[in-house]
Amino acid sequence: MSTKQLKPTTPGQRHRIAPVFEEVTVDKPLKSLTKGLFKSGGRNNRGRMTMRHRGGGHKRKYRVIDFKRNKRDIPAKVQTIEYDPNRTARIALLAYADGEKRYIIAPNKLNVGDTVISSETAQPDVGNAMPMKNMPAGTIIHNIELQPGKGGQLCRGAGTAAQMVAKTDKYVTVKLPSGEVRLILGNCYATVGTTSNPDHFNTTKGKAGRSRWLGRRPKVRGVVKNPVDHPMGGGEGKASGGHPRSPWGQSAKGKKTRKRKKLSSKYIVRRRKTKKG
């Protein structure tokens, strides 16, 4: 995966850094593994806007992804590597030995024709899924479960990966991309390797319209709004706006909002790295 700098034939192309889809092998998804995708436009069941900056965007089909990897001890061959408009990473179509097909998040450097398996006794090779307690320390992993059988929740975006650094009888210690080190049950499954499309972070949209195609509406700064719309609004000319606040008055720019008695705090060995002001 790489990127390409486009020639400035239009203002939108001038600053555009586009992805290269050299690893994608087919154009259309498998119909049996797709379904319709409903768009809310940020509205709830009463039609009220509950999420700002959402709306529009191109019509999509949802690809059903196997985050659980619960088809155990059956080898699967990678048939295709595909683009998925619903996520930043690429997806891979697996054809199992018993005839079933499933999509998974494609690990980086997984190629068509490779064989992967989900098993407690699997080797720690790229694309294989296994309990973290059976992995050697130092293994690079993604699509990590937080509860056994729930399916992968961590490290699913493009180019992300965690590292399994140590293990005890019940828990394993995992270092996440944020820098946080936490304990996770050793029975939880994870997939070996880094997620695909690592150069996604190097791309540049180049124009506002590309964000609209993705369903993202413009964001407006609080200081340029009216006092009725934002705590930092109002004033004559370029007023600074006072203390940084959210639209609902919550302090921003550094105020800690995590609950002190949150249950999962006891599983955090070391907090993520934070910017020091």
118-128 pLDDT, tens per residue? Answer: 999 999 999 99
CATH number of the domain where residue 30 is located: 2.40.50.140
Is 220 inside any structural domain? no
pLDDT(39) > 50: yes
Per-residue pLDDT, 241: 83
> Is 62 within a domain?
yes
The sign one gets for the Cα dihedral 71, 73, 74, 76 is positive
**Exposed, middle or buried: residue 124 (CB in 10 Å: 0-12, 13-18, 19+)?**
middle
Measured at the alpha carbon of residue 75, what is the angle toward residues 170 and 125, in degrees to the nearest 5?
55
Structure confidence by residue, pLDDT tens digits, 49-62: 999 999 999 999 99
Question: Whole domain around residue 76: which residue ranges?
Answer: 3-161+187-201
| Average pLDDT for 182-211 | 96
Residue 250 lies in a domain: no
- What pLDDT does 156 receive? 97
Q: What is the pLDDT of residues 103-115, one digit of tens each?
A: 999 999 999 999 9
Residues 204-248 have pLDDT tens digits of 999 999 999 999 999 999 999 999 999 999 998 888 888 999 999
User: Is 86 among the domain residues?
Assistant: yes
- Six token digits for residue 13: 């192309």
Across all residues in the chain, what is the average pLDDT? Answer: 94
* 1 pLDDT higher than 80: no
Residue 240 has a pLDDT of 82
pTM to 2 decimal places? 0.91
**φ/ψ of residue 198, rounded to 5:** -65, -20
Residues near 199 by Cβ (< 8 Å), separated by ≥ 6? 1, 2, 3, 19, 159
Q: Looking at the predicted structure, is the pLDDT value of residue 277 above 50?
A: no
Q: How many domains does the chain contain in total?
A: 1
